[in-house]
Chain A
Amino acid sequence: MPVISYREAIRHALAEELERDSNVVVMGEEVAQFNGAYKVTEGLLARFGPQRIVDTPISEAGFIGVGIGASMLGIRPVMELMFWSFYSVAFDQILNNAANVRYMSGGQIHCPIVIRGPANGGTNVGATHSHTPENVLANHPGVKVVVPSTPADAKGLLKSAIRDNDPVFFLENTMLYGEKGEVPAGEHVVPLGLADVKRAGTDLTIITYGRSVLHSLAAAAVLEREQKISAEVLDLRTIRPLDFDSVLKSVAKTHRVLIVEEQKPFASVGSQLAYMIQREAFDELDGPIHRLATVDAPAIYSPPVEVEQLPNPRRVLQAALETLA
């Protein structure tokens, strides 16, 4: 199986869907002539031309609104946000218009738009560029939220997202763009709403998603090697719809839960998970659910300290030991 980067995997998904469906359009800042701010869309302009790969001005509310309007007429725009952090200037378009138009029209309209781009900290760009809004987005019924952790998932989930008839928000990670992994060539589709056991275990379930999956796997390896503790790492992959059956299955196996998320703790994805687990699997739990989140402050700039603000293998390891204590 070919080994490619997360960045290439996303590009392959885009190219294959552009090839498959003439209504797919890639649009965003620097996606065409510049080849992508993070080179995700590199080469697509040369291959598909300016009608399919469209550079926009720095005008997120405007161009995302245009994408939503076009999607109501059957175009399937894949909009790149250079950073998901910029969603704040297009909030009304994304979460009033895209999220609500189906409902407010009594189901007459649907909005098959994908908005994708990186949403992460860890790159020393300060608080304005380090937002992780998956909880904010998923709070809006009508939308779907995807956070892939591996190249194979990124490709398979993006293909599903582009074919989906609801608005899908696809949150990537600049720290993962260079990560490599095996990715099936050609048609490889991962359905939205299906979690994946990235590592099987029996003593502890670590529920996580996005880059925190990698940190959790690193910590799980140390736990196994040094503590003889068998941790299961469950990658949610999609936040909404949520594969809660896989969560329940894992909890029933290990009876101990640690949630790891690159999220501020207040009203996070983890908060929702913890509520649901105690509500639906209370008797399976041998102890309180623990959570490791981003340290609750705006993203600090200072490079070595930012590492400690975010989940990292050392913090995950410590949280796992606390969960089992």
Chain B
Amino acid sequence: MSKKPTFKEATPPAATDHAQAPVNARLSPEERIELFRKMVRIRRFEERSLRAYQAKKIGGFLHLYIGQEAVAVGCCSLMGPNDHVITAYRDHGHAIAVGMDTKPLMAELFGKATGCSKGKGGSMHYFDPSRNFWGGHGIVGGQIPLGAGLAYGLKYKGLKGAAMAFMGDGAVNQGAVHEAYNLASLWNLPVVFVIENNGYSMGTSQSRSSAGELAQRAAGYDMQWGQCSGHDVYEVRAMMDKFLTLARETGKPSTVEIDTYRYRGHSVADPDNTYRSKQEIEEYRRTRDPIQLFQVKLLAEGVLTPALAEQIDTEARAEADGAADFSEASPFPTPADIQADVYWEADNPADRRSQGRLFFT
């Protein structure tokens, strides 16, 4: 039943109250509610997009983030002006966490011209450089060297910031990830490599795909590393604050493995009945759901009331429905749009310096 070996806990689980970590203790009630709201908004967005997929409004793949919300929300809530994020194809949560509007996000899934990538990227390829969000990348592990490159850019410009390069547990066996680890450590690049370990690389469990502990591999590259639970947003923030601070203050990279779980299949095309049991999923839902856990905490803190929780949920559902309505009403790109956004020069003809044909038939 267990999806993977239990962590050898770096910090004793029950004994540490992560709410007391300075980065959490100083949160105002409004900020705590905003963390909760973002997690709820991600979940309702994902559920609404699933319904749209089932109604055949969405093509291709749809990799849902349901169950992992505390990871993206916790990490991205720590971003300062010079912090950057890059992730893989399960990117909806990160996009919402960095503050992207859900209307263009949903419209992108619908393949509409009003989508965040004008309907050219799809579910796996969300970007918003204005929010320091650099995708949204489809090839497992391929974005990790780019994450190190964002850190390189920060360092080169002398900016005090950090890049967070997210990957799933399935990415840790890709060569590009290890090359990025080595370069980041060798060159002291301010990057935090974040492994969102949901236990399965597609349908292959961790025990069937990866030798040894995942985060610990960082030690081989002389990098600091940590592990934490991704079911508790306070714990995510406490752990990530430590390593983001390390990156910003000393330029040193690190690897953080965050234990999480996805309730849905690898993508919605995954029948999800060959590699794990329904009981396992139910057990996670019942005992470790990040939204439920945080709701209980906030109620106990007196920050949240049942009525406010209900209101937040209602608003999130309405927002997701509104995003779907917006997407439905939006136009598709036209065939004439296919060849825009290919070359900077073609899109900026007044500044074009090259000559000759850029496109061919």
| Residue A191, interface by CB 8 Å | yes
A277: shortest Cβ distance to chain B, in Å? 13
Determine whether the beta carbon of A73 is less than 8 Å from that of B176. Answer: no
Determine whether the beta carbon of A193 is less than 8 Å from that of B150. Answer: no
A272 partner, pick from B129, B147, B360, beta carbons under 8 A: B360
Determine whether the beta carbon of A93 is less than 8 Å from that of B176. Answer: yes
Determine whether the beta carbon of A108 is less than 8 Å from that of B183. Answer: no
| Residue A19, interface by CB 8 Å | no
Q: Inside 8 A of B357's CB, which chain A residues have their CB? A: 193, 241-244
| Residue B149, interface by CB 8 Å | yes
- Per-residue 0/1 for B125-149: is the Cβ within 8 Å of any A Cβ (1 yes, 0 no)? 1011100001111110011111111
Determine whether the beta carbon of A75 is less than 8 Å from that of B135. Answer: no
- What is the number of contacts between chain A and chain B, taking CB atoms within 8 Å? 196
B356 partner, pick from A51, A70, A110, A241, beta carbons under 8 A: A241
CA distance A51 to B119 in the complex (A): 39
B354 partner, pick from A96, A141, A142, A241, beta carbons under 8 A: A241
| Residue A186, interface by CB 8 Å | no
Q: Contacts A97-B142, A194-B356: A70 and B149 contacting too (C-beta < 8 A)? A: yes
> Which of chain B's residues 97-144 have a Cβ closer than 8 Å to chain A?
115-121, 125, 127-129, 134-139, 142-144
Q: Contacts A101-B135, A104-B120, A109-B134: A62 and B154 contacting too (C-beta < 8 A)? A: no
A323: shortest Cβ distance to chain B, in Å? 24
- Per-residue 0/1 for A93-105: is the Cβ within 8 Å of any B Cβ (1 yes, 0 no)? 1001100011111
Determine whether the beta carbon of B180 is less than 8 Å from that of A70. Answer: no
CA distance A104 to B123 in the complex (A): 10
Q: Inside 8 A of B153's CB, which chain A residues have their CB? A: 69-70, 72-75
B280: shortest Cβ distance to chain A, in Å? 33
A59 partner, pick from B121, B183, B340, beta carbons under 8 A: B183
Most A-side CB within 10 Å, residue of B116, B135, B340:
B135
Q: List 15 A-B contacts (CB under 8 A).
A: A56-B183, A62-B145, A66-B146, A69-B86, A73-B153, A73-B154, A97-B146, A102-B343, A103-B341, A104-B125, A107-B118, A144-B343, A243-B357, A245-B356, A272-B360
Q: Is the interface of A mostly helix, strand, loop or mixed?
A: mixed
Q: Which listed segment binds B: A6-14, A158-166, A176-184, A301-309? A: A158-166
Determine whether the beta carbon of B342 is less than 8 Å from that of A96. Answer: no
Determine whether the beta carbon of B117 is less than 8 Å from that of A105. Answer: yes
Determine whether the beta carbon of B355 is less than 8 Å from that of A72. Answer: no
Q: Inside 8 A of B347's CB, which chain A residues have their CB? A: 107
Determine whether the beta carbon of A75 is less than 8 Å from that of B156. Answer: yes
Determine whether the beta carbon of A192 is less than 8 Å from that of B356. Answer: yes
Q: Inside 8 A of B139's CB, which chain A residues have their CB? A: 92, 96
**Which 4 pairs across A and B sit closest by C-beta, in order of nearness?**
A69-B149, A65-B145, A62-B179, A193-B356
Q: Inside 8 A of A68's CB, which chain B residues have their CB? A: 145-146, 149
Residues of B within 8 A of A (CB): 84, 86, 115-121, 125, 127-129, 134-139, 142-154, 156-157, 163, 175-176, 179-180, 182-183, 186, 189, 339-345, 347-348, 353-360
Q: Inside 8 A of A63's CB, which chain B residues have their CB? A: 145, 179, 183
> How many residues on chain A are close to B (CB under 8 Å)?
57
Determine whether the beta carbon of B149 is less than 8 Å from that of A71. Answer: yes
Determine whether the beta carbon of B353 is less than 8 Å from that of A144. Answer: no
Most A-side CB within 10 Å, residue of B129, B153, B358:
B153
Q: Inside 8 A of A97's CB, which chain B residues have their CB? A: 137, 142-143, 146
Q: Contacts A25-B156, A166-B344, A241-B354: A108 and B145 contacting too (C-beta < 8 A)? A: no
Q: Of all chain B residues, which has the CB nearest A67?
A: B149
Q: Inside 8 A of A242's CB, which chain B residues have their CB? A: 356-357, 360
Determine whether the beta carbon of B142 is less than 8 Å from that of A105. Answer: no
Q: Of all chain B residues, which has the CB nearest A143?
A: B343
CA distance A296 to B345 in the complex (A): 36
CA distance A22 to B226 in the complex (A): 37
A204: shortest Cβ distance to chain B, in Å? 23
B117 partner, pick from A61, A106, A166, beta carbons under 8 A: A106
B183 partner, pick from A57, A72, A96, A102, beta carbons under 8 A: A57
Q: Inside 8 A of B182's CB, which chain A residues have their CB? A: 57, 59, 62
Q: Inside 8 A of A116's CB, which chain B residues have their CB? A: none
Q: Inside 8 A of B135's CB, which chain A residues have their CB? A: 101, 104-105
Q: Inside 8 A of A57's CB, which chain B residues have their CB? A: 182-183, 186
Q: Inside 8 A of A112's CB, which chain B residues have their CB? A: 344
Determine whether the beta carbon of B129 is less than 8 Å from that of A164. Answer: no
- Per-residue 0/1 for A221-265: is the Cβ within 8 Å of any B Cβ (1 yes, 0 no)? 000000000000000001011111100000000000000000000
Determine whether the beta carbon of A243 is less than 8 Å from that of B355. Answer: yes
Q: Of all chain A residues, which has the CB nearest B144?
A: A65
Most A-side CB within 10 Å, residue of B136, B344, B357:
B344
Determine whether the beta carbon of A243 is less than 8 Å from that of B356. Answer: yes
Q: Inside 8 A of A195's CB, which chain B residues have their CB? A: 356
A164 partner, pick from B144, B145, B345, beta carbons under 8 A: B345
B176 partner, pick from A25, A62, A245, beta carbons under 8 A: A62
